[in-house]
Amino acid sequence: MSQQTRFLLNESDIPRYWYNAVADSPVAPAPVLNPQTKEPVTPEFLSALFPMELIMQEVSSDRFIEIPEEVREIYKLYRPTPLMRATRLEKALGTPAHIYYKYEGASPSGSHKLNTAVPQAFYNKREGTKALTTETGAGQWGTALAISCSFFDMPLEVYMVKVSFNQKPYRRFLMEAYNAQVFASPTNLTHSGRSILAQDPDSPGSLGIAISEAVEVAALSNGQKKYSLGSVLNHVLTHQSVIGEEALKQMDMAGEYPDVVIGCVGGGSNFAGIAYPFLRENLRNGQRTRLLAVEPNATPSLTRGVYDFDYGDTAKMAPIVKMHTLGSDFIPAPIHAGGLRYHGMAPSLCSFYDQGLIEAVAVPQLATFEAGLLFAKTEGILPAPESSHAIRAAIDEALQAKENGEKRVILFNLSGHGNFDLSSYNAYLNGELVNYEFPEHQIQGIRDRLPMAQQAQVA
Amino acid sequence: MSQQTRFLLNESDIPRYWYNAVADSPVAPAPVLNPQTKEPVTPEFLSALFPMELIMQEVSSDRFIEIPEEVREIYKLYRPTPLMRATRLEKALGTPAHIYYKYEGASPSGSHKLNTAVPQAFYNKREGTKALTTETGAGQWGTALAISCSFFDMPLEVYMVKVSFNQKPYRRFLMEAYNAQVFASPTNLTHSGRSILAQDPDSPGSLGIAISEAVEVAALSNGQKKYSLGSVLNHVLTHQSVIGEEALKQMDMAGEYPDVVIGCVGGGSNFAGIAYPFLRENLRNGQRTRLLAVEPNATPSLTRGVYDFDYGDTAKMAPIVKMHTLGSDFIPAPIHAGGLRYHGMAPSLCSFYDQGLIEAVAVPQLATFEAGLLFAKTEGILPAPESSHAIRAAIDEALQAKENGEKRVILFNLSGHGNFDLSSYNAYLNGELVNYEFPEHQIQGIRDRLPMAQQAQVA
């Protein structure tokens, strides 16, 4: 009997609702604060950056949010995505575990990012936004938003971290093919960019700086341009829930239910996308699936950061949120999983982690490349280095199951392919990559540097 | 009512048989000739290059050839591939035509080439081959064979056209990630390579030269190594028939039948893959679908070449076949659709063209990039420059239908994505690409230079 490998759904199975996990949180979400006043943000403040519909989704306590028909029409280009059983990987590991993965990399943008890029472009278009601004690191997010903007005939400015801009010209060319304008950040087009360049003309840039630039351009545009973010915020995580909703149905087709669900985390959106619908089943329907977030040990915000209010960006222009953070001035080591090099983490995910509802583990760089290549050689797909963090953890779970002689059903999110990461793979194969120890000293005294430190001492 | 966009089949719909169109040809195939003796090849000659099962398939007159279960197991990683209705492209063109495309680019290798790479690696492994050799131009074929060889734990040597080796390092890194050894051809490892380098130490290489090198290494290995070819030969085209067999079922799901089926042609395999099953329906079941092969006007072997016996490679080591050819010494212009830069064409396809059973058109480079970008901006997927030749013709058919005010059902093969072709897109967007006129003088007197010219004069 041959084993079924791919579990495919029909167009009619594309979810009609996004799932907003905050609605099921036992703990109410912390307020989002204005970076200037440090008071809870007003809709006016947010509306300089986001269209009203996304602001409403950001603060919504509704469990389900209806997906507009126009968005579902575009989802049809690549959704539902396949759920795969990794039988060849299982065999290579000699494990009794069953390993499943949800593959988001066959979308036109090559990753899960399109799931939120499409509705963000759609709502902005509907509300009359004239252009969008955003940042991108490795380029997965910028590519997804560029494609979505081309669908809705919406101009897009992308502030791309300079080191990636130079190292990944093909990512830039790809965004330009969809008509996006791409700038190497820090630029001299913004106050934030110029102030960084004044201190360090050779600054390689960072996600934190690029966010500052994109936010500034939108904030100073008199409502003509809005800003679009690819992770961290709650509406972004909500949009990604289509991944987990489909996976629930597909695991049912496979006749199994996962013991553990795994995703990599940078800002948290692909992990939340696959895990939150399973979290709901834990909270509401008595399931006991472990939910495991995997971060690089070079930017271990969940496992090593502090849980407190912090800025989302370097120039302190983005809202202050309560999250596990390494500090908005944290400079991540140059790991090749560029999408995970962020100092903070989605507030909802941090709250669930703080409540003990999800687990986290940090893994070193070399072990993720080893896992990614084993996956490529057995399952065929070369994964993005970000996704290889999830693969590493899935393999470790499968090996543990082997050691224990126990069946374990593992599901992970293969959030993207590695077609634009080949210089990284080449460096790994040439022995040029290293592991990074977490720079302990960088977070010493961090609490005193947090935006609410003074207030906390007063209170 | 929302229009259905994707037509998906289940694993059980993966074809169980390949279709060998030669069995239905009204004209018997011309013999394949030994390049030294110019007599019909013997099994001994071929067995230095290919495993016996593939030789049997090459000369088979069976209509259907059973797909081994081990091959179908790997097909399950990405097959059946989706059939898509390009509604957003239709709208952009304002055409009453219905445009469908079969998308082969979501396979782990990013193109249709895996369909034949998997069985070629499988049969070689089963017959005890110790290593495979092959050539690659743009890298789609080399990547597919590298992945397939990693599945079957088979070493692979890839002779990659030097200009591509230098211009497309990421393609090389990708093959190396799957453990293939990649050499810049011409190398100094072979007689063929050394003789080219002796004439021109800076030779950029060509597919014809790379084939000579790969063939030579296999031929001189005392049966240890065999050679693997990604197009042209009949067994390769037969393997690709899974594309068209699935598309027949999927068009049925869509409730339509194509008026025209379109594919780009270099060696002919992706076009044959989608078109031959529809040719069978024309020949045996009274359908009248037009089958349209699209070639670059820089290498117009079907529309401008001569139909006669010619060598498959530059060093005249590969078998002589009857085909439409520009001459084995033809040097194609440096168009960016590297996979189409070949002087000849699959013999079976040439025979069908000669019989008037298929049509051909040649298109200029700039029009294909324009078409590819329009496709990307409407349908999301950035196509390979090779596939953009099919898109160009599909758009032209749709525009003609618009002009005539007629409904026309168009199906084309989107054989691969363009993730490794971004320097080409960037060059196009910067206005650096040009059209090439066909170098008429290169084929003047070609008949006198063909291998059988002397024999023909004698006869």
Sign of CA dihedral B60, B61, B66, B71: positive
Q: Of the given ranges (B105-109, B165-169, B213-217), which has the lowest mean pLDDT?
A: B165-169
Are A344 and A232 a contacting pair, CB within 8 Å?
A: yes
Nearest 10 degrees: Cα torsion A307, A309, A314, A319: 130
The 10s digit of each residue's pLDDT in B41-60 is: 988 889 999 999 999 999 99
**In the 3-class helix/strand/coil scheme, how is chain B assigned residue by residue?**
CCCCCEECCCHHHCCCEEECHHHHCCCCCCCCECCCCCCECCHHHHHCCCCHHHHHHHCCCCCEEECCHHHHHHHCCCCCCCEEECHHHHHHHCCCCEEEEEECCCCCCCECCHHHHHHHHHHHHHCCCCEEEEEECCCHHHHHHHHHHHHCCCCEEEEEEHHHHHHCHHHHHHHHHCCCEEEEECCCCCHHHHHHHHHCCCCCCCHHHHHHHHHHHHHCCCCCEEECCCCCCHHHHHHHHHHHHHHHHHHHHHCCCCCEEEEECCCCHHHHHHHHHHHHHHHHHCCCCEEEEEEECCCCHHHHCEEEEEECCCCCCCCEEEEEECCCCCCCCCCCCHHHCCCCCCHHHHHHHHCCCCEEEEECHHHHHHHHHHHHHHHCCCECHHHHHHHHHHHHHHHHHHHHCCCCEEEEEECEECCCCHHHHHHHHCCCCCCCCCCHHHHCCHHHHCCCHHHHHHC
**Banded model confidence at residue A2, pLDDT cuts 50, 70, 90:** low
Mean pLDDT across A300-304: 96
Of chain B residues 37-96, which have a CB less than 8 A from chain A? 69, 72-74, 76-78, 84, 88
- Cα(B236)–Cα(B270) distance, rounded to whole angstroms? 10
Kindly list the residues from chain A whose CB atom is less than 8 angstroms away from the CB atom of residue B169.
422-423, 426
Give the residue with greater pLDDT, B371 vs A454. B371
Nearest 10 degrees: Cα torsion B111, B121, A88, A364: -70
- The CA-based angle B11-A373-A170, given to 5 degrees, is 90
Contacts of B404 (CB under 8 A, 6+ apart): none
Contact B179 A377 (CB under 8 A): yes
pLDDT of the residue at B331 = 83
Both tokens of residue A179? 């008509």
The 10s digit of each residue's pLDDT in A234-289 is: 999 999 999 999 999 999 999 999 999 999 999 999 999 999 999 999 999 999 99
pLDDT of the residue at A369 = 98
Both tokens of residue B370? 């324009």
Exposure string of B45-76, with b = 16+ CB inside 10 Å and e = fewer, is bbebbbbebbbebbebeeeebebeebbbbbbb
For β-strands B306-311 and B17-19, DSSP reports them as: unpaired
pLDDT at B200 over 90: yes
pLDDT of the residue at B455 = 65
Kindly list the residues from chain B whose CB atom is less than 8 angstroms away from the CB atom of residue A74.
380
Contacts of A416 (CB under 8 A, 6+ apart): A104, A105, A110, A111, A112, A113, A140, A383, A384, A386, A387
Q: Which of B329, B333, B351 is nearest to B341 (CA)?
A: B333
B412 bridge partner residues:
B101, B262
Question: Distance from CA of residue B294 to its chain's centroid?
Answer: 12
pLDDT of the residue at A456 = 53
B291 bridge partner residues:
B261
Q: Which of B236, B266, B230, B229 is nearest to B389 (CA)?
A: B266
The 10s digit of each residue's pLDDT in A373-421 is: 999 999 999 999 999 999 999 999 999 999 999 999 999 999 999 999 9
Kindly list the residues from chain B whose CB atom is less than 8 angstroms away from the CB atom of residue A5.
11, 73, 76-77
- Cα(B125)–Cα(B119) distance, rounded to whole angstroms? 10
Of chain B residues 428-457, which have a CB less than 8 A from chain A? 429
Nearest 10 degrees: Cα torsion A84, A86, A87, A91: 180
The 10s digit of each residue's pLDDT in B246-299 is: 999 999 999 999 999 999 999 999 999 999 999 999 999 999 999 999 999 999
- Residue A444 backbone phi and psi in degrees, to 5: -65, 135
Are A309 and A450 a contacting pair, CB within 8 Å?
A: yes
The 10s digit of each residue's pLDDT in B150-185 is: 999 999 999 999 988 988 889 999 999 999 999 999
Q: Taking CA atoms, what residue in B is nearest to A118?
A: B380
User: Helix axis angle, A365-379 relative to B140-151, nearest 10°?
Assistant: 90
Instruction: Give the helix/strand (H/E) hosting A308.
Output: strand A306-311
Measured between CB atoms, which of B76, B170, B174 is closest to A5? B76
pLDDT of the residue at A240 = 98
Contact B177 A422 (CB under 8 A): yes
Q: Is B350 on the interface with A (CB under 8 A)?
A: no
Both tokens of residue B190? 């072979």
Q: Taking CA atoms, what residue in A is nearest to B2?
A: A73
Gap from B425 CA to chain A (nearest CA, Å): 7
Helix (H, G, I), strand (E, B) or coil at A362: strand
Gap from B147 CA to chain A (nearest CA, Å): 6
pLDDT at B2 over 70: no
Cα dist from B309 to A131, B39, B322, B457, whole Å: 59, 12, 4, 14
**Banded model confidence at residue A1, pLDDT cuts 50, 70, 90:** very low
Are A169 and A138 a contacting pair, CB within 8 Å?
A: no
Helix (H, G, I), strand (E, B) or coil at A1: coil
Q: Of the given ranges (A80-94, A312-326, A407-421, B250-264), which has the lowest mean pLDDT?
A: A312-326
Are B114 and B122 a contacting pair, CB within 8 Å?
A: no
Nearest 10 degrees: Cα torsion A167, A170, A176, A181: -10
pLDDT at B225 over 70: yes
Q: Which of A48, A55, A57, A39 is nearest to A309 (CA)?
A: A39
Cα dist from A86 to A90, A93, A240, B77, whole Å: 6, 11, 23, 9
Q: Taking CA atoms, what residue in A is nearest to B88?
A: A151
Number of C-alpha atoms within 13 angstroms, CB side, residue A299? 30
Prior bond of A80 cis (ω within 30°): yes
- Residue B257 backbone phi and psi in degrees, to 5: -135, 135
Helix (H, G, I), strand (E, B) or coil at A203: coil
Mean pLDDT across A327-331: 88
Mean pLDDT across B427-456: 88
Per-chain mean pLDDT for chain A = 95
Residue in the structure block whose two tokens are 């990461």: A421
Q: Is A380 on the interface with B (CB under 8 A)?
A: yes
pLDDT of the residue at B401 = 98
Q: What is the pTM of this model?
A: 0.96
pLDDT at A459 over 60: no
Instruction: Give the helix/strand (H/E) hosting A65.
Output: strand A64-66
Contact A2 B73 (CB under 8 A): yes
- Residue A396 burial (CB count, 10 A): 18
Of chain B residues 132-171, which have a CB less than 8 A from chain A? 147, 150-151, 169-170
pLDDT of the residue at A138 = 84
The 10s digit of each residue's pLDDT in A416-458 is: 999 999 999 999 999 999 999 898 888 888 999 899 886 654 4
For β-strands B98-103 and B83-85, DSSP reports them as: antiparallel
Number of A–B residue contacts, CB under 8 Å: 127
- Cα(B412)–Cα(B417) distance, rounded to whole angstroms? 14
- Residue A27 burial (CB count, 10 A): 11
Sign of CA dihedral B295, B298, B304, B310: negative
- Cα(A399)–Cα(B301) distance, rounded to whole angstroms? 55
Are B154 and B124 a contacting pair, CB within 8 Å?
A: yes
pLDDT at A53 over 90: yes
Both tokens of residue A414? 């293969």
Number of C-alpha atoms within 13 angstroms, CB side, residue A205? 27
- Residue A438 burial (CB count, 10 A): 18
Both tokens of residue A278? 């399973």
The 10s digit of each residue's pLDDT in A136-174 is: 988 999 999 999 999 999 999 999 999 889 888 899 999
Q: Which of A49, A35, A127 is nearest to A315 (CA)?
A: A35
Amino acid at B82: P
Q: Of the given ranges (A333-342, A350-359, B15-24, B226-235), which has the lowest mean pLDDT?
A: A333-342
